[in-house]
Amino acid sequence: MDYGSKTVGVAISDGLLFTAQALETIARTQENKLRQTLARIKVLCEEYEVEEIVLGFPKNMNNTIGDRAEKSLEFAEMLKKRTGLPVVMWDERLTTVEAERTLMESGIRREHRKAYVDQIAAVFILQGYLDRRYIKGEKDKDGETDISGGAGRDA
């Protein structure tokens, strides 16, 4: 997920945990009004049988944690409480810039980019996590490396 002041971009992985696809952008009118946002995320987690949430962690370029990152950590705690799922914080530096560039290169007009940029940023966040997970290899209960993922999904 790409958590912003007024939107949350949501992406979902395939069942084998190889690829991330854009799902939707959840919008709200005020930054601190999160009840409906959290309710929608819970519905999506149930609908797609999510086992883990990956949330973008907007660190500063010098690797420090600023106001936006603090708000993301608070949102992560709310997500854990609401969904009962583990939340992984994933470094999201420059994902929005990359998403904007991708949309521009795809020929999406400027006025239409806003509708997709958060979803695309969420895809980059989740795909980075999935790629790292694949490269590292996941250990299953027998100690064997399991790179195929599982039946569950990450959001």
Nearest to 55 by CA among 83, 36, 31: 83
Is residue 47 assigned to a domain?
Answer: yes
- More confident call, 135 vs 8: 8
Is residue 155 assigned to a domain?
Answer: no
Is residue 139 assigned to a domain?
Answer: yes
pTM (2 d.p.): 0.79
Nearest to 31 by CA among 54, 55, 66, 4: 4
> How far is it, in rounded angstroms, from Cα 153 to Cα 44?
11
pLDDT digits (tens, 9 = 90+) for 76-121: 999 999 999 999 999 887 677 677 777 677 777 777 667 778 888 8
Is residue 23 assigned to a domain?
Answer: yes
> At a CB cut-off of 8 Å and minimum separation 6, what does 56 contact?
1, 2, 3, 72, 89, 90, 91, 92, 95, 121, 122, 125
Is residue 83 assigned to a domain?
Answer: yes
The residue range of the domain holding 48 is 2-150
CATH (domain of 36): 3.30.420.140
Number of domains in the chain: 1
> How far is it, in rounded angstroms, from Cα 21 to Cα 9?
11
Helices assigned H by DSSP within the chain? 35-47, 67-83, 95-105, 110-136
